[in-house]
Chains A and B, each alone.
Chain A
Amino acid sequence: MRYGMAIDTKKCVGCSDCVVACQTENNIPHGYARDWISETVSGTYPELTLEIRSERCNHCDNTPCVRTCPTGASHVIEGGIVKVTHEECIGCGACVESCPYDARYFHPDGYVDKCTFCDHRVKNGQDPACVSVCPTYCMYFGDLDDPNSEVSKKIATRKTKVLAPEAGTKPQIFYLI
């Protein structure tokens, strides 16, 4: 079992519904977010391309955030989901600095917070909130170890990329390009 996501940049319109759905699902205070939208424009008018990506913690296989955590608050659970135990976090920020994706933020209550792949939903057989709400159906979540899962099939049949591969973190979110 290895959870991961495929996100289709050919369909994403950058509406940010994933951001709001995460906020309401996980009760994130106003002004903070666990996921966000990035846009990359290349070329000159009128020869242009635009790539829009919904980004979040990549739930990496190789996790600098967990390694740098002095208290063990940052850890990895079943399915490769990277989590933070809020009570054990001292807010030192080492993980925030070590993450190449800027995926972690300081919660106003004094701990570091980040995407959980909505593990509370996943254990009930639901998709993460961002995936379930997306009006463009551009996100796929599932078991990367299962070749028959929708997410595995998307990754197998489409051209993909990951973010900051040079960081060596082995991210588990794949962008379909």
Chain B
Amino acid sequence: MKTTRRDFIKITSMGAGGLAAGASPFVNWSIDFLNEDQIVPDDSKLKRVPTYCEVCFWKCAAWAYVNDEGKIVKLIGHENDQNSNGRLCPRGTGGLGMLEDENRLTKPLIREGEPGSQRFREASWDEAFDFIVKKMNKIEEKYGKESMALFFHGTTGPHFEYLWEAYGSDTMAEPAIAQCLVPREVGFKATFGKGLSSPEPTDIRNTRCLVLIGNHIGENMHNGHVQEMSQAIDNGATIITVDPRFSTAASKSKYWLPIRPSTDLALLLAWMHVIIKEELYDKEYVEKYTYGFDLLKNHVKSFTPEWAYTKTDIEPEIIRRTAREMAGAAPAVIIHPGRHTVWYGDDTQRTRAIAILNALLGSYGRKGGFYFPEKKRLAKYPHPEFEEPKWTWKTITKDKYKLTPLGATNVLIDHSLPENKSEYKIKGWFVAATNILVSIPDAEKTKRAIQNLDLLVAIDTMPAEITGYADVVLPEAVYLERYDFIRAAQHRKPHIALRMPVVEPKGDSKPGWWIARELGIRLGLEKYYPWKNIEEVLDWQLKKEGTSLAEMKKTGIKYFDKEDYLFIPDGADWEFNTPSGKIELFSNLLAADGYPGLPKFTEHKQNPQGFYRLIYGRVPMHTFGRTVNNPYLNTLRSQNHVWINPKVAKDWGIENGQKIWLENQDGVISTFAVEVRVTERINSNAVYLPHGFGSTGKKLSRAYGRGASDSEMITNVKIDPETGATGMRENFVTFLLENPHKEKQEV
């Protein structure tokens, strides 16, 4: 039996039979190797244009290969780039699909129907800008400039952040913070005096032991980390993976710890207990660089592996053995901090525990542990002073969530709701390159906020859910059609990368910098835009650094001398940017604001009878929901599957491949059905649902209605008190075998 060749991913159980071919003499080779017909031009006949990728946040530098018709034929990683090492991931390689997608936004649109109706009329840029400016002026008159909020993501963000600063509002947030990495940033800042930022400075390629806690490297294609994990495997490093799901990383691990979901902090405390009790910690490092060891020692005294076993289901002996394995590799050990760390609402506490464990093992600032990254700080193009807003995101966030360094999208949404009685009201939104109806939990609440707005402008390349709710949609050119600011990402050595247009923008779409500047001028902010186009700004910045735009167009990347140490030199004195100047095992920063100074374990709700914890994650060929419509990447994975353990499937009489609907603890039912994948890779208390599918955006012809959306099922949000981050993993789902929407229609 043949499987269809259209299934590029074949999932089989053991045993792959083949057709038996009869015995026959070997065929002789004909010698026409060099004379073969070949329609593919070789690389030497193609022109290379530098860019950096926008299909995810890793921003790998790349070359676009262009044929003599001016068409991009392929995208290849830039050989001198530290983020990609010359190798893009599938999404970067398939970045051509972002360009080709026939569903792209190519005209400014003004909404005609009700919000969410997706009924728009095409408009000119002038008309769209006039509409926006008129509305903004009204909002300013009635509520003040601060009532205009900006939500953003990716390289589009900085153009609009600048516009906002020039305009006089600092009411801004990006989902990448409170819906993703902020607990980890604060956990590491509190411990080491500095957050980790991106790409995370983990020296994976030199490590001898990599510990992944719910972090599925290889399913998340964080390119550099995936590459370095592979090098670590080649070097014989031990991998320890903690995950209730048998992830790809778990399958590469010496130890897989199938933990009871939500109990990671108990395991971390028990590891600390073993490492301190058995005196496996780095005594010299702890003595020289840390503060609060005795407090920590006392704190973890009762957190024995036997105690942790009752919480985590991990055998005490395995907890001891893995702790010893880590210590044996130290300081070349990484308890990986993860990235999407908004899980249970005690996420700063958990990531603090991860930071402390690294400190005990002496891995921070050490080879095979964490390196000190360096980035080139480019000069800012001169501009007149910005007007000081009367209130900012801080005013409405920092009173409750004292330690967040950046705005929380959910807090700004709360202040947009009709029931918001505070004096700080948000009445207009700009949403730039982020689909906040999917990236922010509880979409119904977001929709209620939208109903209460006087203006919603969406800037995007694709007709995502959020653009359907916008009053005005501004079509942005895709990354291969535009300049953006120089990428000056941190890494082992400081380097910068250029993105320049490879082809002309499609239709009436325009680069983000152009949209922001044009709008700025129409808002009377000419003085902040003394330059005519972004090339002037880039060239000015680059010339300050001994290069130029012309040179960067040829090289794509430029390196600079390293100014700081990559690791702490042996035995050197070192000051950390914490209140004590040391690595704080006990955090003065947290304690000063009334938060626990030592990691506090909290029990979390387990799954009710007949319900299963919803665990979500990534598939390697997609970036959230942004790429499911990409014609290349869609053919790799066009829908998600809900993973169900065979025992659970048997109890329910559910078969592999069957379509079911999901209902969560709050009675929310998935809009679309999802196919079941019956697999041993998930435990019987939980289900796994890859994120980004089940789009309700009707104009996304390949993504609409394909699978179920995990975001829809996330209505119970556990807020992290330190940061305001939205913990999303305390949601439970049950199964509906009949179409619930059909029943409703019949009644």
Interface, chain A (partner B; CB < 8 A): 10-11, 13-17, 19-21, 23-27, 30-33, 36-46, 48-50, 52, 55, 61-64, 66-67, 75-81, 83, 85-87, 98-102, 105, 119-121, 123-124, 126, 132-138, 163-164, 166-170
Contact = CB atoms under 8 A, between A and B. Distances in A.
Given A45-B246, A48-B246, A13 B219 contact: yes
A126 B43 contact: yes
B231 interface: yes
A121 B256 CA distance: 40
A157 B79 CA distance: 29
Nearest to B257: A46
Given A38-B10, A121-B42, A164-B16, A15 B218 contact: yes
Contact of B230 (A11, A17, A23, A77): A11
B261 to A, nearest CB: 14
B74 interface: yes
Interface stretch (B27-35, B319-327, B456-464, B517-525): B27-35
B221 A135 contact: yes
B9 A39 contact: yes
A43 B646 CA distance: 12
A175 B540 CA distance: 52
Contacts of B501: none
Given A24-B74, A48-B680, A77 B36 contact: yes
A164 B5 contact: no
Interface residues of B, number: 81
A77 B89 contact: no
B36 A25 contact: no
Contacts of A135: 87-89, 221, 223, 226-227, 230
A163 B18 contact: yes
Contacts of A42: 13-14
Interface stretch (B383-391, B475-483, B627-635, B712-720): B627-635
Interface stretch (B90-98, B355-363, B443-451): B90-98
B10 A39 contact: yes
A59 B229 CA distance: 30
Nearest to B20: A167
B40 A120 contact: yes
Nearest to A2: B29
B11 interface: yes
14 contacts: A24-B73, A33-B5, A36-B8, A36-B9, A41-B680, A43-B680, A48-B246, A77-B32, A78-B29, A78-B31, A102-B3, A135-B230, A166-B17, A167-B21
Q: Which 6 A-B pairs have the closest CB atoms?
A: A164-B18, A100-B18, A13-B218, A78-B33, A50-B251, A15-B620
A16 B619 CA distance: 10
Contacts of A46: 246, 256, 258, 683
A50 B248 contact: yes
A64 B18 CA distance: 12
Contacts of B43: 121, 124, 126
B30 A39 contact: no
Contacts of A121: 42-43
Nearest to B41: A120
Given A39-B11, A77-B29, A87-B37, 6 more contacts: A10-B252, A20-B636, A38-B10, A41-B679, A121-B43, A164-B17
The CB with the most chain B CB atoms within 10 A, among A24, A25, A32, is that of A24
Interface in B187-230: 218-219, 221, 223, 226-227, 229-230
Contact of A17 (B89, B233, B258): B89
B379 interface: no
Contacts of A163: 16, 18
A91 to B, nearest CB: 14
B437 to A, nearest CB: 28
B24 to A, nearest CB: 6
B636 A119 contact: no
B89 A15 contact: yes
A48 B251 contact: yes
B6 interface: yes
Contacts, number: 229
Interface of B: 2-3, 5-14, 16-21, 23-24, 26-34, 36-40, 42-44, 73-77, 87-90, 93-94, 96, 218-219, 221, 223, 226-227, 229-231, 233-234, 246, 248, 251-252, 256, 258, 620-621, 631-633, 635-636, 645-646, 679-684
Nearest to B251: A50
- Considering residues A52, A79, A163, which has the most beta carbons from chain B within 10 angstroms of its beta carbon? A52
A30 B248 CA distance: 27
Contacts of B38: 119-120
B73 A41 contact: no
A93 to B, nearest CB: 11
A44 B29 contact: no
Contact of B248 (A13, A77, A133): A13
Contacts of B27: 62-63, 66-67, 76
B20 A166 contact: yes
B18 A166 contact: yes
Contact of B24 (A20, A40, A45, A62): A62
Contacts of A75: 30
B21 A169 contact: yes
Contacts of A40: 12-14, 16
A50 B33 contact: no
A62 B5 CA distance: 23
Contacts of B28: 76
B234 A77 contact: no
Contacts of A169: 21
Contacts of B631: 30
A121 B40 CA distance: 9
B90 A45 contact: no
B15 to A, nearest CB: 8
Contacts of A123: 33-34
